[in-house]
């Protein structure tokens, strides 16, 4: 497509009256043009000045869309030459090697890999947020695994392996081990006000798998799901590869905050973190909970409630779940032992409405051919003997202290200059950086000093327009290491933002 043809093509499709921001429409249209090869690999896109002029929109809007497409790997820009559709555009199909193009054989491995990937595979890899490091200061979302009661676990482990039971070593029946489902139903009813029977609980390998199962069973490719903006990158990726269209919805102090335009187009599903918005930390108000439940009931949409770390509230009691308020069976509740015990355990669960329980159990066994019954038996006994609640109680005290130590260290270094948000809960805080700061650069500078933090902007649908900040996980950092690690992080911030020192 030539530049003038592209402008016409875009002009015909941009709709100023549909309530969707022009930035988002232009971004989606250009992605579409690249994926459908209307804009083939290697082709030059018009300069931002020209395109802005021809479409009658702000040049900044076009620049920001181009920058976003660069980040996502759709285009690359060469200084002085312009912006080009990437050679390894996400939908490239492996073809017969072209004898006339020997250079193709010597292209770097990552580019070869991208050529081999499907469209959704390439998108997943281009947008992947997973970190190579999963431990150490200040890894967000990771509890202190060194405090796990290993002795109790090892006693249970020995017990089960001494009395070898074939039924625990074979594939799992759909839904997981009955004793764990019973123990969990008791825990969720009393601690989280979840209304459920053991049969409504489906054991999975964690929230990622729970969300995957829920969207496969309750939606079809192309259906729309509302996600909070910002939201957890991992679940966002799960939704993308399932072929759902994510519609990012802004959050305010009361949680997800759909506009009148959003409400006018009901989604098939929505994914929310009512107890502790991830990553900003606010709690969804009762009014907003009621509004969402009523809206979901009237429009027959599903709400997936991600209750990933609600056990950790430091000033007040843990809040009741959204599921507990639901009287019409619209909520799918998902939780995990990843934060309460240890992430590598890979045991999580869904609580589904009674009418869906059988289908979810069957689908889970059918799709994932579950196992891990021995670990499930150990975990059921661990809960029944009271170790689970006692571990949570101890960790709540410990993490509350670590959180305060971190806040004190930050205040000592910066006073009020870098405010922290994140509520009085969870395993991380968000430190806000001055507007316009490139938080990815700050995170990279911290990593060079062996400190892991995540840039806040990466959790937003449009990172280039997002507020700037850092996610700082304190739970897995020993008390005495928090202040020194904060100082190392502050050195990285000061080196990146010299005007701030
Ligand atoms: C909001 C949120 N949901 C889900 C998860 C992942 O849960 P799991 O380890 O059970 O898959 C995380 C991990 O950090 C998270 O932050």
| Res. 373: pLDDT tops 90 | yes
3-state secondary structure 395-409: HHHHHHHHHHHHHHH
Percent of the chain scoring above 90 in pLDDT: 68
For residue 129, the SS3 value is coil
Query: Residue 88 — pLDDT band, cuts 50, 70, 90?
Result: low
Point out the ligand 1 atom lying closest to the alpha carbon of residue 206: 10
Give the pLDDT confidence score for residue 105 in this predicted structure: 47
Give the pLDDT confidence score for residue 423 in this predicted structure: 75
| Res. 96: pLDDT tops 70 | no
| Res. 80: pLDDT tops 60 | yes
β-bridge partners, 311:
none
383, 372, 384: which is closest to 347 by C-alpha?
372
**Residue of the nearest CA to atom 14 in ligand 1?**
141
| Res. 5: pLDDT tops 90 | no
Give the pLDDT confidence score for residue 87 in this predicted structure: 66
Query: Residue 94 — pLDDT band, cuts 50, 70, 90?
Result: very low
CATH number of 149-386: 3.40.640.10
Mean pLDDT across 273-300: 97
Point out the ligand 1 atom lying closest to the alpha carbon of residue 336: 10
| Res. 61: pLDDT tops 90 | no
Which mutation among 280, 334, 335, 336 tests ligand 1's pocket best, with the greatest number of atoms within 8 A of CB?
336
Neighbours of 3 (CB within 10 A): 15
At which residue do the structure tokens 């998108």 appear? 123
| Res. 59: pLDDT tops 50 | yes
More confident residue, 142 or 48: 142
Hey, what are 142's tokens?
Answer: 């990771």
- Express each pLDDT in 346-363 by its tens digit: 999 999 999 999 999 999
Which mutation among 184, 228, 273, 338 tests ligand 1's pocket best, with the greatest number of atoms within 8 A of CB?
338
| Res. 307: pLDDT tops 60 | yes
Dist. CA 371–CA 332, nearest whole Å:
23
Angle at 147 between CA 210 and CA 400, to 5 degrees: 80
CATH architecture classification, 3-101: Orthogonal Bundle (1.10)
CA atoms within 13 A on the CB side of 429: 22
- Note whether 149-386 and 390-496 share their fold: no
More confident residue, 75 or 249: 249
Give the pLDDT confidence score for residue 99 in this predicted structure: 36
Give the pLDDT confidence score for residue 12 in this predicted structure: 78
Mean pLDDT across 279-297: 96
Mean pLDDT across 93-115: 50
Question: Ligand 1 centre from 76 Cα, in Å?
Answer: 32
Rg of the chain taking only CA atoms, in angstroms: 24
Looking at 3.40.50.620, 3.40.190.80, 3.90.1150.10, 2.60.120.920, the CATH number of the domain 390-496 comes to 3.90.1150.10
**Residue of the nearest CA to atom 12 in ligand 1?**
308
Delimit the domains of the chain by residue range: 3-101, 149-386, 390-496
Query: Residue 90 — pLDDT band, cuts 50, 70, 90?
Result: very low
């Amino acid at each position: 497509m030539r530049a003038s043809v592209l402008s016409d093509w875009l002009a015909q499709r941009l709709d100023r009256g549909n309530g969707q921001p022009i930035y988002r429409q232009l971004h989606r249209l250009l992605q579409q043009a690249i994926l459908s090869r209307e804009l083939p690999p290697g082709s030059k896109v018009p300069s931002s000045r020209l395109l802005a002029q021809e479409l009658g929109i702000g040049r900044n809007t076009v620049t920001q869309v181009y920058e976003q497409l660069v980040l996502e790997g759709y285009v690359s820009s060469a200084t002085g030459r312009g912006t080009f559709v990437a050679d390894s555009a996400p939908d490239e199909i492996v073809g017969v090697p072209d004898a006339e193009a020997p250079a193709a054989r010597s292209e770097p491995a990552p580019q070869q890999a991208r050529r081999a990937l499907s469209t959704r595979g390439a998108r997943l890899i281009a947008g992947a947020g997973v970190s190579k490091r999963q431990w150490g200061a200040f890894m967000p979302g990771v509890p202190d695994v060194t405090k796990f009661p290993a002795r109790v676990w090892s006693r249970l482990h020995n017990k089960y392996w001494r009395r070898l039971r074939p039924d625990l070593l074979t594939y799992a029946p759909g839904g997981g081990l009955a004793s764990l489902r019973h123990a969990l139903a008791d825990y969720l009813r009393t601690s989280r006000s979840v209304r459920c029977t053991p049969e409504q609980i489906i054991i999975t390998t964690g929230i990622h798998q729970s969300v995957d199962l829920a969207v496969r069973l309750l939606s079809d490719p192309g259906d729309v799901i509302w996600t909070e903006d910002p939201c957890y990158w991992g679940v966002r990726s799960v939704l993308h590869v399932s072929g759902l269209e994510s519609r990012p919805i802004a959050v305010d102090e009361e949680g997800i905050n759909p506009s009148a335009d959003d409400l006018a187009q009901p989604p098939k599903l929505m994914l929310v973190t009512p107890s502790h918005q991830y990553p900003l930390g606010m709690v969804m108000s009762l009014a907003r909970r009621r509004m969402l439940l009523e809206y979901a009931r009237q429009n027959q949409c599903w709400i997936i409630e991600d209750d990933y770390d609600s056990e950790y509230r430091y000033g007040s009691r843990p809040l009741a779940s959204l599921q507990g308020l639901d009287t019409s069976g619209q909520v799918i509740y998902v939780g995990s032992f990843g934060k309460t015990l240890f992430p590598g355990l890979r045991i999580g669960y869904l609580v589904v409405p009674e009418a869906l329980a059988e289908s979810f159990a069957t689908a889970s066994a059918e799709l994932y051919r579950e196992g891990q019954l021995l670990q499930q038996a150990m975990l059921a006994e661990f809960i029944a003997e009271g170790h689970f609640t006692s571990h949570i109680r101890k960790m709540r005290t410990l993490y509350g202290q670590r959180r305060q130590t971190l806040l004190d260290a930050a205040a000592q270094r910066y006073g009020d200059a870098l405010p922290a948000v994140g509520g009085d809960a969870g395993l991380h805080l968000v430190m806000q950086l001055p507007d316009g700061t490139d938080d990815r650069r700050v995170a990279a500078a911290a990593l060079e000093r062996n400190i892991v933090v995540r840039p806040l902007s990466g959790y937003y649908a449009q990172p280039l327009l997002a507020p700037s900040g850092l996610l700082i996980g304190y739970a897995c950092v020993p008390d005495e290491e928090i202040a020194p690690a904060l100082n190392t992080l502050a050195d990285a911030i000061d080196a990146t933002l010299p005007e701030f020192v």
